Amino acid sequence: MNLSWLVAVAGVLSLALVGLVRRYALQQALLDMPSERSSHTVPTPRGGGLGMIAACFAVFALVARPVARQEWALAAALLGVAAVAVVGWLDDHGSLPVAPRLTVHLLAGLAVAWLALDVPGPFGLLGVAGAAWWVFWTVSAINVTNFMDGIDGLIGLQALVFGLHLLLLQTGGAAAVAGAALTGAALGFLVWNWSPARIFMGDVGSASLGVFMAMAGVLSQRHTGLPISQAFLPLFPIFLDASVTLVRRWRRGEQLTQPHRSHLYQRLANSGWGHARVSLAYGVAAAVGIVVSRFDESPMRLVAATSYFVAVAVAGFLLERGLASDEKR
């Protein structure tokens, strides 16, 4: 399987499809308008993630073969990605109630849980606890990518780094296809989304991308036997930012469903760093996760991963303290 060819196909398709979505969004006035809760200053088309995720599906279609019995779980997971994309596309056109969105997200999580039944280790065991974990993980990934998609290029670059991570793990089969598709599609999307962005990802992209990355990580675990901490390691910085912000807002008694600009990445971007610099910083942090995940020896792997977690957490804490000090002045 020529993975570089798949990356190129995904990149060209994503570049073209995102451009078509942008034209449609402009014609339909499908725009994100600036507000006190946003980090952009001009009306910008949204929904570009549709082109990105469509490119990923096109790559899978190119290498598809008749679905064998053991591949039904993968088909279900891809169907979950598509369903979440449809709901997100509808939500981009007009806000949907929480109930139908959450229902589709939970069903997508169940599909990923089915796919994870063959994953080595405790989270791959049959049983309610294992399935519940993967449903929770998938829904969390959907929300994290959605929460963190607030400045130009950030989530697109995270998707690119995670795709490269999957390729460098030397996974085979569907895991390698997912890595190649994600890498190429993210590259094509970033041409349009890098600062200053000409189109935003929208819920159609951020939500479906969360499911796709959860699915791709599970596929890599099935092939390599890596623990979940290693398979998803490059995503730790964005998960940490989202989790810390969620807890802080909950402790303050804020309404968690309300838009805000209190994520670390948002505060950095609005404090003078700018979108490109913040997105690059998070991208570098994710890329370091790729390096750490390459350790083969089990004891060194644990030490390296633990050190990475601590280093990212300390860096975030120091940046938080610096921002808090500046905000008090």
pTM value is 0.92
Range of the domain at 277: 3-328
Structural domain total, the chain: 1
Nearest one of 255, 329, 252, 237 to 292, comparing CA atoms:
237
CA nearest neighbour of 137 among 232, 220, 221: 232
> Can you count the helices (H) and strands (E) in the chain?
13, 2
**Locus of tokens 């990518």:** 145
Rounded-to-integer distance, Cα 278 and Cα 8, Å: 27
Q: CA 130 → CA 146, 243, 321, distances in Å? A: 25, 22, 37
Tokens standing for 151?
Answer: 């400045």
- In this structure, what DSSP letter does residue 329 have? -
DSSP, res 32: E
- Give the CA dihedral 319, 294, 215, 126, nearest 10 degrees: -110
List, as one string, the DSSP characters of 294-323.
T--SHHHHHHHHHHHHHHHHHHHHHHHHHH
Going residue by residue through the chain (329 aa), what tens digit of pLDDT does each one get?
Answer: 688 999 999 999 999 999 999 999 999 999 988 776 667 778 899 999 999 999 999 999 888 764 444 588 899 999 999 999 999 999 999 878 889 999 999 999 999 999 988 776 655 455 667 788 899 999 999 999 999 998 999 999 999 999 999 998 876 788 899 999 999 999 999 999 999 999 999 999 999 999 999 999 999 988 888 888 888 999 999 999 999 998 888 888 887 777 777 899 999 998 889 999 999 999 999 999 999 988 776 677 788 888 999 999 999 999 988 887 766 65
